[in-house]
Amino acid sequence: MDEAQRTGDEPNRTVTTGAADRFWHLRAWAGINASGWFRVLVRNRCAVSPSRIPMAMILSGLGPFNSAMSLVQQAVYGRRIARTELVDDPLFVLGHWRSGTTLLHELLVHDPQHTCPNTYCCFGPNHFLLTEAVMKRLLTFLLPRQRPMDNMAVGWDLPQEDEWALCNMGVPSPYLTIMFPNRPAQDPEYLDLRDLTPAQRQHWQRCLTWFLKSLTVRHPQRIVLKNPLHTFRVRALLEAFPQARFVHIARNPFDIFPSTVHTWQKMYRYHGVQVPRFEGLEQYVLDTFCHMYRVFEEDVSLIPPGRFCEIRYEDLVLDPVRQMQRVYEQLNLGGIEAARPGWEAYAARTAGYQRNRYVLPEAQRAQIAARWSGYLEKYRYNTDGT
């Protein structure tokens, strides 16, 4: 995949490329607890690339620190977290990677009735109630200037995926493949959670609920979560949160595929403790997409009426305000007038933005059209990319 042919999928907060990444820059795993870090390290036979040993040594030191801070937070906030009730079951943003989930998430959290996990909460889930105010000021200089897969800015207070929080809490996750990209895929059973034992499934649900209760202690509002892996997990999410709402965003598959390949390449390079070889990456993207939408189509009918809606990325970019109003009406979220100024400000800020286009080889385009044909048909995309 030619990395020069990449898209500016979600245009807000675009910045220019900064200096080269340093081994001491904070990675997604900086908040991982000791048990989570050493378990994944041992499971992968400590197969750290020589050039990534300094990064691994930093993580080995941070793990015990995070575990110690977790114990302190539990002593200070544990009872309060345990008795906290969620204001409402969460609102989940579903969709494949690079389908516009970040854009939709940000529009939703412009609403003053909503909150979400920010970058610090996800990278320090074990102790953010205790340390956020101080550590954000102390560690800002260690953040990279932009996300590794695009030019979107990085900041402690920006919305973030809750899967990173689960990883850093020591919960098994397919995202751990990013850490060891040359080893077999990590925790594939945690994609759709269907093959977990009852105990494993309950543990996963308890950990997610504990994190959401901690967020509610911080800001008692409806929580909006964006995590592409949750597109696999509708059944498990409904078990934990029966009144949850879901909004799914679709995008042209001929944009999704190359952008996702590019994203994993960048993530492996930046967050991995191995120098990645990218073996089988394109096939992995094709297979994972098929798996995602097979289980999604099986489970989406379980969502009660009035708690699910779908939009397309292209429509959202064309008219954000109108599409967001439609989402609110279909999900009966209320507060449209309070949220509208944020949507309008976003639309004005991004007006005229031109997205990059990919040029795919015909053989690759034909493979996508054949393997993802059901998605193309359902969401009305043509095989010529329109």
Q: Find the mean pLDDT for residues 36-55.
A: 97
Q: Find the mean pLDDT for residues 356-367.
A: 86
User: What is residue 10's predicted lDDT score, i.e. its pLDDT?
Assistant: 38
- CA atoms within 13 A of residue 252's CA, in its CB half-sphere: 19
Task: Produce one character per residue of 298-331: b if its CB has 16 or more CB atoms within 10 Å, e if not.
Answer: ebbeebeeebbbbbbbbebbeebbebbeebbebb
The band of 139, judged by pLDDT with boundaries at 50, 70 and 90, is confident
Overall pTM > 0.75: yes
Order of strands, sheet of 91-94, starting from the edge strand that comes earlier in the sequence: 114-115, 222-226, 91-94, 245-250, 308-312
pLDDT tens digits, one per residue of 82-136? 999 999 999 999 999 999 999 999 999 999 999 999 999 999 999 999 999 998 8
User: What is residue 150's predicted lDDT score, i.e. its pLDDT?
Assistant: 52
User: What is residue 137's predicted lDDT score, i.e. its pLDDT?
Assistant: 83
The separation between CA 278 and the C-alpha centre of its own chain, rounded to angstroms, equals 21
Taking 60 as the threshold, does the pLDDT of residue 346 lie above it? yes
User: What is residue 146's predicted lDDT score, i.e. its pLDDT?
Assistant: 58
Taking 90 as the threshold, does the pLDDT of residue 277 lie above it? yes
Of 80-94, 139-153, 262-276, 295-309, the poorest mean pLDDT is in 139-153
Q: Which domains does the chain have, with CATH numbers?
A: 28-251+270-352 (3.40.50.300)
The band of 12, judged by pLDDT with boundaries at 50, 70 and 90, is very low
